[in-house]
Amino acid sequence: MRLHIICGALLIGFCAYAQQKQPPVKLKLPPLPPSTDSYLTAQLADAKWMPGQKLEARLPAGSEIALIGADPMTTGITAYLRFKGGYKLPPHAHTHTTWLTMLSGRGTWIIDGKKTASKVGTFVIAPSKQVHQFSCDAGADCVFLLRRSGPTDYIWPGK
């Protein structure tokens, strides 16, 4: 019986302590991207480019990405992707499927060992965990509209 009284007193004391005014916790979060689950428009001319290395440190210099939005459930991004003329995106894969539509430039995709020429209007699906790579022809930048079905990750073959 005495143990019950002691436990009860401790519980009451803890509850009283928990109800005291505590200073608010302040979290510093980066701005959240717009949701792709609601009305959203984007203009390539207004894109805010950042180096591709901010997304994946092992990407060679010469790639840039401009976030358009993200799916609030899957966190899959929609973004513009730009490669400088002559850029070679090394072989890699992602856990989630990627859809790309070429907006400018010319180049070559290699997906599952198959080469495919890419020009304005080309639509490409890189399925989940499928190794793919891209070479942008010299002379003009290659720009894509990109969409991912889940969080962005990079899987480097043999690493």
* pLDDT for the residue 33: 77
Residue of 93 and 12 predicted with greater confidence = 93
Q: What is the mean pLDDT of residues 117-135?
A: 97
Terminal C-alpha separation, the chain: 63
pLDDT at 107 exceeding the cut of 50: yes
pTM (global) more than 0.85: no
| pLDDT tens-digit readout, 39-62 | 899 999 999 999 999 989 999 999
State what percent of residues in the chain have pLDDT above 90: 71
Q: How far is CA 28 from CA 22, 31, 32, 47, in A?
A: 19, 9, 12, 25
DSSP letter string, 2-55:
HHHHHHHHHHHHHHHHHTS--PPP----PPPPPBTTS-----GGG---EEGGGT
Q: Which CATH number fits domain 46-148: 3.10.20.740, 2.60.120.10, 2.60.40.10, 3.40.1160.10?
A: 2.60.120.10
What does the domain layout of the chain look like in residue ranges?
A: 46-148
- In the predicted model, what is the mean pLDDT of the chain? 87
pLDDT digits (tens, 9 = 90+) for 81-99: 999 999 999 999 999 999 9
Query: What pLDDT score was predicted for residue 18?
Result: 57
